[in-house]
A and B are shown apart, each in its own frame.
Chain A
C-alpha cells in the first residue's frame, strides 16, 4: 500500500510569488490535514479536509488556502509569499474523520522563499 505522497519535495520561490503544493493520501483515506513546520514555531495546524469539505482551519492568514478533490487528493496554495513562509509543509491522511484514528504523514515539501 503506497504511503502519503507529497510533491514536489523541494521548492524555491521568490517573495511575492504564489505556490501550490500537492498531497496524495493513502488509497481509501478521506481526511487530509496540512501542517507547517518551522524551527521557531514548530508544527502548526493549517487546515483539514474531509470528503472535499474543509472542517477545520488553523490561525493562518488568508494567503494560505487549500482544497480537496473528489479522489481525496489535496492541494494547498500560498499566495504573495513572504520570507517567513519558508518551512516544511507536511500533510497527513487518515481513513476516518475522527481524532483517534492514526494519521499517516508524508515526507513533506520543503519550501524556501528568497
Chain B
C-alpha cells in the first residue's frame, strides 16, 4: 500500500528565509508524486509533480522538489519565502493502477513572518 508522511504539521519561517517542507513516501512501485498548496477557503493548486522524467522538479512560484529514491523523500523547497507563501501544503502520491486516485499527507501549514 502507498502512503505519505509529512514531517511537521506547522513550519514557521522569516520572510526571505529558506522554505523546506518534508515529505516521505512509501510505494512498492515507482511513484508519481505531487505537491499541492491550499489557501484558506480554497481548493488545491498543483505546485509541481514528479513523474520519473527528472529527479529535480521545478514548479510554480519558485518552488522545487527533489526526488530521492534512496531516502524515499520528495521534499519541497523555496530559496526565499514571501509573505504570500503562507498556506497549507500537501504532498501526495498517485496510486499505481488507481487512475486518478491520490493519497495525501496530513499537510504542513507554513507561516511566514516579517
Contacts and interface: CB of A to CB of B under 8 A. Distances in A.
Contact of A50 (B95, B96, B99, B107): B99
B51 A100 contact: yes
B44 interface: yes
A33 B100 contact: yes
A48 B49 contact: no
A97 B100 contact: yes
Interface stretch (A12-20, A66-74, A79-87, A105-113): A105-113
Chain A's interface size range is: 20 to 34
B98 A105 contact: no
Interface residues of B, number: 25
A48 B102 CA distance: 10
A92 B100 contact: yes
A98 B99 contact: yes
Interface in B61-109: 90, 92, 94-96, 98-107
Nearest to A48: B100
Of A33, A48, A99, A105, most B-chain CB atoms within 10 Å:
A99
Contact of A100 (B49, B103, B107): B49
Given A42-B104, A99-B32, A100-B32, A56 B46 contact: no
B114 interface: no
A22 to B, nearest CB: 15
A48 B43 contact: no
Interface of A: 4, 31, 33, 35, 42-45, 48, 50, 55-56, 58, 90, 92, 94, 97-108
20 contacts: A33-B102, A42-B105, A43-B90, A43-B92, A43-B104, A43-B107, A44-B104, A48-B100, A50-B99, A56-B98, A90-B44, A92-B44, A97-B100, A99-B102, A100-B49, A100-B94, A104-B46, A105-B36, A106-B43, A107-B43
